[in-house]
Every structure is written in C-alpha cells, then in structure tokens.
Structure 1
Amino acid sequence: MDVYITSTGNHLPGPAITNEQIEQVLGLINGKPSRLKNKILQSNGIKTRHYAINEQQQTTISNSAMAALAGNECIDNSSVAKNAIQMLSCATSQGDLVLPGFGSMVQAELDLSGVELHTSHGICSSSMMALKAAFTSIKAGCNNNALVIASELASRLFKHTRYEALEHQEVDFNAEFLRWMLSDGAGALMLEDTPATTGTSLRIDWIKSYSHADVYPTCMSVGTPKQGGDKTWQDYPTYSDAEKDGALLLRQDVRLLDNIVNVGVQGYLKVLDEQQLSANSIDHVLCHYSSKYFKSKIFELLNMANCMIPEDRWYTNLYERGNTGCASFFIMLDEFLKTQSYQAGDTIFCMVPESGRFNCAYMHLTVVEK
C-alpha cells in the first residue's frame, strides 16, 4: 500500500525577529550584551526567526496551541474532515508539561475524538520518527490517514533569567551557544493511503534512519550540569538546586558538533547504496542543517565522495524562518510546496541530522499530480 503526503500546514508565532532584536525579546544576561552573539549568528547565517514569547519574556502561545494551529491549517488544506482523522502523531523536544505526552495535549487543543495517538520525544529527528510511525501504520493497513505535527517552543529556555539563576558561575559557551541558534514554530503533514483528489501529493517511497548513540557521547541536552557526569536534574535535592548548578540549561557540546556532518554524509552514502539510487536521480534536496557553516562542510564531503547533488537543487528556508528544531523540516517542506517549482515525477531527497546523540533520518518522496 502506498502512502502520500496530501496537505501541509505551519504556524510561526509573532513577527519575524531580526538579529538586532533578539536580545530585546530574550533579554540581556546580567544587563550586558552578549560577546558571542554576532560570531555565532555570522556562522549560522540566520537573519530572522520567530519567538512565542514577548519582550517581557511572557509566553504568548503554548507549544501545544502552536501545534494545533499548524494542524488546523493542514486540515483546512486537506479533503480529510477533522472527525475522519484516524491517527495523530506528534513530536517535540519539550512539551508544555513534563507529563502527559505532548500528543495528548495537542489532541485536546485540536478537539479530535477517538484517534490513535503517538508521541515522539527527542530533538530534530523526532519529527521523522513521528512521521515514520504514521507512515508505517498506514502502510500496514491499520489506518487510512494520519495527521503528523512537529512543534517547538525553545525560547522559554533562553530567557535571561534562566542564565542569571546560575550560582557563582559564568555562563559557559556551550550553554549560550543555542540561544543564538534556535527559535519557535510548528509544522504539520496529512498522510493518506490515496493521493489528494486535486493538486499535488507526495508519495513517500521510504523513510530510513541511523542512530549512533552507541558510538558518541551526548552532544545536545537539557538536564545535566556544566561539569557533566552521571548527575541529572532529578538527582538534586530541589529543582532550585538543579537550576543554580546550570542543570536546566540547554547545552551543546560544540567540540563534538562536527561529527554530525560526518555521520550525516555517511548515512546519505549508505542509504543511496541500500536504495540503489544515484545522486543524479534526485531532483530536489531538503536538508535540515542548523547552520550555514554545516552546509559548506556537507558539500565538501559530498564532493570528496563524488556524490554531490548540484547546489541549485537544494532548498532551505533556514535563514528566514530560523532553526525550529524538530519542526524545521515540516515547515521547510510546507514552504517548498507553496513557493517552489516542481512537476509530476520529480524526486525529493530529505535529510534530517540530529546532534542530540547523533541520529540521522532520510526520506525519499516522489511528486504525484492528480
């Protein structure tokens, strides 16, 4: 049984925020402008992004509400009635609550009844895990359709007060790095076992991922202090003690970060071999790279392997929409379909590397016109 993406939707909260406005929204740490901001922004190439908090660092919309808005737009663009949706598969790095699962909260926001529910928890590739669960369910004949939503609200972790809560510590580079990288947004895809009755659908030919958690240490995390070790935020006497020790800050071990390029390209070469594809057979590439810096590194390795796909076939909206974590790929695919040129029979190769503990996901799509 074939599975098709028949509609898409997205939600980006608030106005686009320029590089000059970031600290107006997130706040100055200890009242001082960052010395790292411009260097990191120059490297990642992001010009504008969206935040679900205002200049008083108040949340303007919840993560589950953003997800629901993206989901409703996807439903509105689809021929599937809301009461006919059979499965809801959701992904996020951090929901609004620790428990229950994010999918339950989104289902309530959407007011969906009697759906099969799935929540995928992780970082960037968790959206692809949620998509794979829905794809597999339809492929197996368990459901005829599924709504898949990925949403991120990272900005709440980047309020200046989070960093100012550190006790007798300077804010280290690994804790501040992602403050200039991540932003907020949600994307949604409708999956069905038949193409849309009108317009364009995308047949999902396959989805494959490779995890390298057995090889590499943790690179991106929330829950461990600066000094690392086995201690987690739940091992402190109080949550306040964990916060004072920096265990609630989002951290990126930048010393390990270049490994994401190597494992991502190795996975690309492996999946080309497994699926008996050539680079020349790919018409469009949608790759979730978090930074302009990594794009150049990816191109360098692909050229060395003689498997480069011409740069004019690559599409990204990173620089205008920002890096929205697991929602990035869904938002990218939605905008690609609405703004770019393609035709029936075109192939789309999708790559979603994740630096959490190095999981890389890949997908192959074919454009189908009714």
Structure 2
Amino acid sequence: MTPRATVIGVGHYLPERIIENAEFAEGLQGVAPETIRLETSDDWIRSRSGIERRHFAAPGQTTSDLATRAARAALADAGIVADDLDAIVLATSTADLTFPSAATMVQAELGMTGGFAFDVQAVCAGFIYALANANALIISGQAKRVMVIGAETFSRIMDWTDRGTCVLFGDGAGALILEASEGDGTNADRGILSTDLHSDGRFRDILYVDGGTSTGQSGYLRMEGKEVFRHAVEKLASTATSAMAKIGMTAEQLDWIVPHQANIRIIAGTAKKLGLSMDNVVTTVQDHGNTSAASIPLALSVGKARGQIKRGDVVVTEAIGGGLAWGAVVIRW
C-alpha cells in the first residue's frame, strides 16, 4: 500500500467589497487617503488581463481574518472540527505581521489546541509550495490531517499611481484539507499523485516588493509585466508536463487545469502549450483578479461549487510568482 494525501474538503472566502474595473477611472475611494483616479478603462483592463472585477478587504480586515473564514468553510465541507487537524500550512506574502505567522493566528481563531502551524512564502506559487509541504508531512507519517490555506490582502501593497499593476490584484482566501489514506501506488489512487517545484533567484528583480527590513519601509509591489509574461507560459507548461511525466501521465489524461489566476492570456497560452482546450480550464480571474497564493485554492473551491471538479477527476494545478518560484501538483480528486 502507498500513503496518499487525499482531499476531503475545500472552502473559500472573498471580502464583501467588489471593485469593478470602471471604478479605477471613475474614482476609487477607501483604499488610500485620497480618491484614486487612473487613466484606464474597463476595456483596457479586460483586454490585457481578462479581469472584470476583484474583491478588496475592508479596513481592519487582515489576511488571517480571510484565511480563518476560508478555513471554517473547508472544515464544514469536510465535516470535521479544528481539533481534528494536525497542522495548518498557510501560504501568504501579506501576513498580518512580520511575525508571528498568520497560520498561528488562524490556529488560535479556530480554537485548535494541538498540532502546529506555519507560513510558507513563495508569492503566487505559495499554495503549490504549501501543498507540496503538506503532502510531504502526510506521506512521511508526521501528520494525518493538514489544512492548506492560501490567503492574501494584496490591496495593501499596491502603488495606486501604477495603473499597470494596481488594477490586476485582489484579496481573498481559499483552503483545502488533506487526509492520510492508503492507495495502491497507481495513478488510479485518489489524492496527490506528484509535485514539481522550481525557483531561480536570478529573476528576482522582475517581480518584487521594494520594502522590508533592508529599507525599513513596507514597500509596494513592482513588476515588469512583459518579462513575467515571457517566463510564465513556458515555465508553467514545463512544470505541469514535468509533474505529469513523473507518474507517466500526459495532458490527454487530465480532466482539469486549475492554474494560478493571474492573466487570461497566460492561462490560455499555457493550455495551448499543453494541447488542451479552455473547456478543460477552471477560470476565476475575471471575478477575482490576481489573488496571488489564494488564487488556486479559490479556484479549486469555486470549481467544485460550480460542479466542474468531481470526485475521481484528475487535476493539474500550476503557478509562478516572484522569486521566480514556480511549480505544479497533480491530484486525483
């Protein structure tokens, strides 16, 4: 028998405030001391990204708040309580504080009195890295049930004068619960079938936040969009192919691609490279924008709720983010 980390529950949470594209041109209030007006339009944003709207956290609403709500939804979906968990792994680049981890804050809010919790920081690839870590905890026997969360409040690190970046991002959280199970060691097993992780620090300057302990300031997100795009399609298709090759699978055997929801052109380009139709892709970027580490668990939860992702389906999920860091995971749902 082969140990597997099987999905038993998913959930998500989106802040109440919805920001339509037009608000950036008409006047966006409540995210900065002054009203934000940009030389942009709904058509400009849609044509370049596929984004139509996004959610922003309310004043005082933190990343751990969003994560806790998504976690509760996932617990309800799985039919378990917080103390049934052995661990929480939370992927975020916008934790409430430098330390302690947002994961421990979620642990406390859930009333989880045992186990352990920690954060993973790999920007938009964070959930893939967190999922790989959670899988390793389970197959090594260190945990039986692990909650994996992606949560972000990227609206807090936007430069509202930069129309090329600030219109792309949103806030939200998604959570997934993995449970130890026994499989036959074949691709017919339910659970995580393979993982594939990469990074290359030579490209750190094309997507980063210009603040931290080195500057003494929190900083803003900076991105060279064309360079990120150039790397994204090739690396995402490559890591998805590599993850499948590890278990002798090909794209024709997939039911769904659940990609990082950054840009519809990147999503479509990756699907094309894999030889798959957009009918096989779960997309939420139009409604959520780029929620960084939250985008994949949000899409998984929404995909299940829509009736797209069903028990037994084979899903490949992939992401790339600052670092550069990228990777993919193959799951039989």
Q: Taking structure 1 as the reference length, what is the TM-score of the superposition?
A: 0.79
Q: Distance in 2 between matches of 1:109 and 1:326?
A: 21
- CA shift, 1:62, in A, is 1.5
Work out which of the residue numbers 173, 177, 184 in structure 2 matches 1:186.
173
- CA shift, 1:326, in A, is 0.2
User: Compared with structure 1, are the counterparts of its residues 311 and 259 closer, same or farther at alpha carbon in structure 2 (3 Å cutoff)?
Assistant: same
1:24 maps to: 28
Alignment of 1:81-160 (within 5 A): 81-158=81-158
Larger radius of gyration: 1
Stretches of structure 1 lacking an aligned partner (at least 5 in a row): 54-58, 164-170, 196-200, 225-232
- CA shift, 1:96, in A, is 1.1
2:304 maps to: 337
Q: Distance in 1 between matches of 2:131 and 2:28?
A: 36
User: Compared with structure 1, are the counterparts of its residues 268 and 113 closer, same or farther at alpha carbon in structure 2 (3 Å cutoff)?
Assistant: same
8 A contact 1:91–1:102 mirrored in 2: no
One-letter identity of the residue aligned with 1:322: G
Work out which of the residue numbers 313, 323, 331 in structure 2 matches 1:357.
323
Work out which of the residue numbers 19, 35, 52 in structure 1 matches 2:39.
35
Give 3-state SS (helix, strand or coil) of 1:308's partner.
Answer: coil
User: Compared with structure 1, are the counterparts of its residues 6 and 275 closer, same or farther at alpha carbon in structure 2 (3 Å cutoff)?
Assistant: same
Give 3-state SS (helix, strand or coil) of 2:225's partner.
Answer: coil
- CA shift, 1:274, in A, is 3.2
User: Compared with structure 1, are the counterparts of its residues 363 and 297 closer, same or farther at alpha carbon in structure 2 (3 Å cutoff)?
Assistant: same
- CA shift, 1:210, in A, is 1.7
1:51 maps to: 56
Using the aligned pairs only, state the percent identity. 21
Q: Distance in 2 between matches of 1:62 and 1:30?
A: 21
8 A contact 2:261–2:295 mirrored in 1: no
- CA shift, 1:187, in A, is 0.6
One-letter identity of the residue aligned with 1:360: W
Residue correspondences, number: 321
One-letter identity of the residue aligned with 1:17: I
Q: Distance in 1 between matches of 2:97 and 2:112?
A: 20
Mapped pair 1:311 → 2:278: yes
- CA shift, 1:119, in A, is 1.3
1:2 maps to: 4
User: Compared with structure 1, are the counterparts of its residues 48 and 31 closer, same or farther at alpha carbon in structure 2 (3 Å cutoff)?
Assistant: closer
1:167 maps to: none
2:186 maps to: none
CA RMSD of aligned residues (A): 2.5
Q: Distance in 2 between matches of 1:32 and 1:25?
A: 6
Stretches of structure 2 lacking an aligned partner (at least 5 in a row): 183-188
Q: 1:66-119 CA distances to partner (integer Å, 9 max, x unpaired)? A: 111111111122232222211111111111111212212222222211212221
8 A contact 1:176–1:251 mirrored in 2: no
1:265 maps to: 237
Q: Distance in 2 between matches of 1:86 and 1:266?
A: 33
Give 3-state SS (helix, strand or coil) of 1:113's partner.
Answer: coil
One-letter identity of the residue aligned with 1:203: G
